[in-house]
Amino acid sequence: MDRIDRHILEVLQKEGRLSTAELSERVGLSPSPCARRLKRLEDEGYIEDYQANLNKARVGISMNFFVEVSLSNHQEASITSFEQALCDMKEVISAHIVSGGYDYLLEVVSPDLAGYEAFTRKLHKITSVKDIHTHLSVREVITKKALPIYL
């Protein structure tokens, strides 16, 4: 990975819809070498996928929560079952195993409090869930920030 590869990654994080011609102009390469580098970065796993970032308010999401979840047991079957249940819940947009006083930190979105309450009912039905604590996001300070590249 060289300076040009890093520049390609930085530009694409901000503007993923650029054509190869536009990308090549931004990074100072002709289109063919730029396309080859882009293909290599995709093949080597530096670029996982391309997606659109949606406006939450325009798609009916007005509330964002962070939910701390503790499990009652840490058997492999319970963990697998819990994590699969999370994957099946459309409200969960990210989930992390964390260290500290609880096991998971979830980011959850909802159109309103009633939607969040319905989500928590589903979460409590999972037998391995011991406890949950919820934090309502009052305002998002940083959004869609590009990842720093340390290579």
* pLDDT digit string, tens, across residues 86-99: 999 999 999 999 99
The per-residue pLDDT for range 92-126, each reduced to its tens digit, is: 999 999 999 999 999 999 999 999 999 999 999 99
Distance, in Å, from the CA atom of 38 to the CA atom of 40, rounded to the nearest integer, reads 5
Residue 58's Cβ-side half-sphere holds a number of Cα atoms within 13 Å equal to: 3
Fold exhibited by the domain 3-43: Arc Repressor Mutant, subunit A (1.10.10)
Query: For residue 18, what are the CA distances in angstroms to 6, 21, 48, 62, 119?
Result: 16, 8, 16, 30, 37
| Lookup result for tokens 């989930």 | 95
Distance, in Å, from the CA atom of 111 to the CA atom of 51, rounded to the nearest integer, reads 22
Domains 3-43 and 57-136 share a fold: no
Indicate the CATH number for domain 57-136.
3.30.70.920
Helix (H, G, I), strand (E, B) or coil at 102: coil
What is the phi-psi region of residue 98: left when phi exceeds 0, alpha when psi lies from -120 to 50, beta otherwise?
Answer: beta
Distance, in Å, from the CA atom of 37 to the CA atom of 43, rounded to the nearest integer, reads 10
Domain ranges, ordered by start, for the chain: 3-43, 57-136
The per-residue pLDDT for range 31-83, each reduced to its tens digit, is: 999 999 999 999 999 999 998 889 999 999 999 999 999 999 999 999 999 99
For the four alpha carbons of 60, 66, 72 and 76, in that order, the dihedral sign comes to: positive
